[in-house]
């Protein structure tokens, strides 16, 4: 083991001078920006970001100290532009098309976990995949999904009612929300019955939970941080050798990939070719027509299994937790759903959903790099180290940019004087907020060409299942304090003082009488 660690260390330090020189002669303008002092040229601030116990903590401190746009240190002497400025975010994600692709290390992580799917593709490959997948998320198709979601919500309520039939009981709602979300993606889009709610087959649900828990428990060592950073700089011919060295994270990602693709292969094999526009049928037809190759097809199914389960389960659990701590607002939402049948016209429900998404973004940062020289506009000017006032930041080709969804979703200039408080009333008031993101001025689903293709799918699922739950149960405060934990680049719910138990959202559930 010592010999292997020494060899890995030699690889890192062998490449360091080359990478340092390659980057040092670039990105001159960003050096004029203020930012936190760098304690390590080799690690920059990336080690600190990875090692912080809760998501967004350091970013929040830096934002309050240096403003919405500043410079932090990256690995191998790299300078990273960090911003939560609304105008800068609009420019990078929405207005620039493919000129700000995902960084190569993030793409590599996605390829390890799910393959060459829409979350890893860029340019023409990304456009081709979006064209194939698009009809699965049309307005007509989404309405069809809603009936599946409602049936799953009814089954979820029946399962929980069995647990609380005799008395109120503390339940880990993340576990049950994950099972419901997995059943939904299987029944609505994959033509596959996971039967996770029935307990007959919850392999995927358990695997996803174990994967995120394992990621949250990976010790942040310098090597764990440095190894993937090399993917930003070095050619694949060199990195393919380095990639053979297993890391704790790569083992987790590859195990998930193996199981997910096995399920996907069975699903495609049995998919009908009946003209339906659900996801699996579209992919089966694409396979027959060679519109996508096998790896791309299996990768899409693995991606949507992971994304649809985890995003919905987390948001649903967080919302029930927040409602449990505000019984008055919970009662108002419950009264609203007795009067209104159209999910879209339930203002209190949707305000609670949006506020939950704002405070607990699953993806709390986005990494991009400039594919060409550019100038990024700012809504709030910055003062450089030389005292100059900049209304825009010039960046050179290759400049890495970190967009903080966590701090943008908490900007007082956008969200008012209480941005750290769960206050759904903010979404019930008229405002002049800038337009950022795909939904409700939130950055949760990204934006532009790389915006989440399934965001409406997830939102409708949240609406439908939350309504079913609130009609059947009252959710009471368990006394647990849930923190925004971190698992790689994802935000996960963990209980303060019980972090070693992994992801969970304990809430006391009380059955309502008819």
Give the chain's end-to-end CA distance (angstroms, integer): 62
Dihedral sign of CA atoms 28, 108, 310, 295 in order: positive
Angle (CA) 155 157 161, round 5°:
120
Residues 73 and 60: their CA atoms lie apart, in Å, by 16
CB 475 within 8 A of CB 123: no
Dihedral sign of CA atoms 366, 401, 39, 381 in order: negative
CB 485 within 8 A of CB 55: yes
pTM for the predicted model, two decimal places:
0.89
Place of tokens 């959202």: 505
CB 506 within 8 A of CB 474: no
**Domain map (residue ranges) of the chain:** 2-511
CB 311 within 8 A of CB 362: yes
Q: CA neighbours within 13 Å on the CB side: how many for 161?
A: 16
Place of tokens 């495609």: 268
> Domain 2-511 maps to which CATH number in 1.10.230.10, 1.10.1740.110, 2.40.50.100, 1.10.630.10?
1.10.630.10
pLDDT score for 387: 96
Q: CA neighbours within 13 Å on the CB side: how many for 506?
A: 14
CB 167 within 8 A of CB 326: no
pLDDT score for 288: 84
CB 493 within 8 A of CB 174: yes
CB atoms within 10 A of CB 44: 22
Beta bridge partners of 389: 383
Residues 464 and 507: their CA atoms lie apart, in Å, by 20
By C-alpha distance, which of 241, 488, 208, 209 is closest to 364? 488
75 in a known ligand binding site: no
pLDDT score for 32: 94
DSSP string covering 311-343? HHHHHHHHHHHHHHT-HHHHHHHHHHHHH---G
pLDDT score for 216: 54
Token pair of 288 as six digits = 């027959």
Q: What string of pLDDT tens digits covers the 514 residues of the chain?
A: 444 444 444 444 444 544 444 444 444 789 999 999 998 999 999 999 988 888 899 999 999 999 999 999 999 999 999 999 999 999 999 999 999 999 998 888 888 878 889 999 999 999 999 999 999 999 999 999 999 999 999 999 999 999 999 999 999 999 999 999 989 988 988 877 888 898 865 566 566 656 655 555 556 688 778 888 888 887 777 767 766 766 666 777 777 777 777 777 877 877 777 778 889 889 888 888 888 888 888 888 888 877 777 889 999 999 999 999 999 999 999 999 999 999 999 999 999 999 999 999 999 999 999 999 999 999 999 999 999 999 999 999 999 999 999 999 999 999 999 999 999 999 998 776 678 999 999 999 999 999 999 999 999 999 999 999 999 999 999 999 999 988 766 788 999 999 888 889 999 999 998 6
pLDDT score for 256: 75
pLDDT score for 415: 94
pLDDT score for 24: 45
Residues 374 and 390: their CA atoms lie apart, in Å, by 15
CB atoms within 10 A of CB 165: 9
Residues 459 and 438: their CA atoms lie apart, in Å, by 12
pLDDT score for 206: 65
CB 475 within 8 A of CB 507: yes
pLDDT score for 236: 74
Alpha helices by DSSP H, listed for 164-278, are 173-185, 203-216, 222-229, 236-242, 248-269
């Amino acid at each position: 083991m010592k010999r292997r660690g020494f060899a890995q260390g030699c690889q890192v330090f062998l490449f360091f001078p080359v990478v340092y020189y390659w980057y040092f002669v670039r990105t001159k303008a960003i050096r004029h920006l203020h930012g936190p002092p760098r304690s390590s040229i080799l690690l920059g601030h990336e080690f600190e970001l990875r090692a912080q116990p809760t998501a967004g903590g350091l970013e929040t401190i830096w934002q309050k100290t240096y403003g919405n746009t500043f410079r932090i240190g990256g690995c191998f002497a790299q300078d990273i532009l960090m911003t939560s400025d609304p105008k800068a975010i609009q420019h990078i994600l929405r207005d620039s098309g493919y000129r700000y692709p995902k960084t190569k290390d993030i793409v590599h992580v996605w390829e390890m976990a799910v393959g060459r799917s829409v979350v890893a593709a860029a340019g023409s490959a990304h456009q081709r995949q979006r064209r194939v997948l698009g009809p699965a998320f049309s307005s007509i198709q989404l309405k069809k999904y809603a009936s599946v979601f409602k049936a799953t919500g009814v089954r979820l309520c029946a399962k929980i009612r069995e647990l609380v039939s005799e008395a109120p009981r503390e339940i880990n709602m993340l576990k049950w929300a994950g099972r419901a979300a997995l059943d939904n993606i299987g029944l609505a889009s994959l033509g596959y019955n996971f039967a996770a709610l029935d307990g007959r087959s919850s392999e995927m649900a358990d695997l996803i939970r174990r994967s995120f828990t394992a990621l949250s428990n990976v010790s942040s060592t310098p090597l764990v941080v440095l190894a993937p950073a090399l993917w930003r700089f070095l050619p694949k011919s060199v990195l393919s050798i380095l990639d053979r060295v297993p890391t704790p994270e790569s083992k987790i990602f590859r195990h998930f990939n193996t199981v997910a693709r096995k399920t996907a292969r069975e699903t495609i094999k049995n998919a009908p070719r009946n003209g339906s526009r659900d996801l699996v049928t579209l992919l089966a037809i694409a396979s027959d027509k060679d519109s996508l190759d096998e790896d791309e097809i299996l990768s899409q199914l693995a991606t949507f299994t992971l994304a649809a389960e985890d995003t919905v389960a987390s948001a649903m659990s967080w919302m029930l937790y927040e409602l449990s701590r505000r019984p008055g607002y919970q009662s108002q939402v419950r009264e609203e759903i007795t009067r209104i049948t159209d999910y879209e016209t339930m203002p209190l429900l949707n305000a609670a959903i949006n506020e939950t998404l704002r405070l607990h973004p699953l993806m709390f940062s986005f990494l991009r790099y400039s594919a060409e020289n550019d100038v990024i506009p700012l809504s709030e000017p910055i003062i450089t180290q030389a005292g100059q006032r900049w209304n825009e930041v010039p960046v050179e080709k290759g400049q890495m940019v970190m967009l903080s969804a966590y701090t943008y979703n908490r900007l007082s200039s956008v969200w008012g004087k209480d941005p750290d408080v769960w206050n759904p009333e903010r979404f019930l008031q008229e405002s002049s907020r800038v337009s950022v993101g795909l939904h409700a001025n939130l950055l949760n689903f990204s934006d532009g060409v790389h915006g989440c293709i399934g965001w409406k799918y997830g939102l409708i699922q949240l609406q439908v299942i939350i309504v079913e739950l609130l009609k059947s149960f009252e959710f009471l405060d368990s006394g647990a304090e849930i923190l925004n934990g971190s698992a790689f680049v994802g935000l996960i719910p963990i209980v303060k003082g019980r972090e070693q138990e992994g992801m969970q959202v304990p809430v006391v559930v009380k059955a309502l009488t008819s």
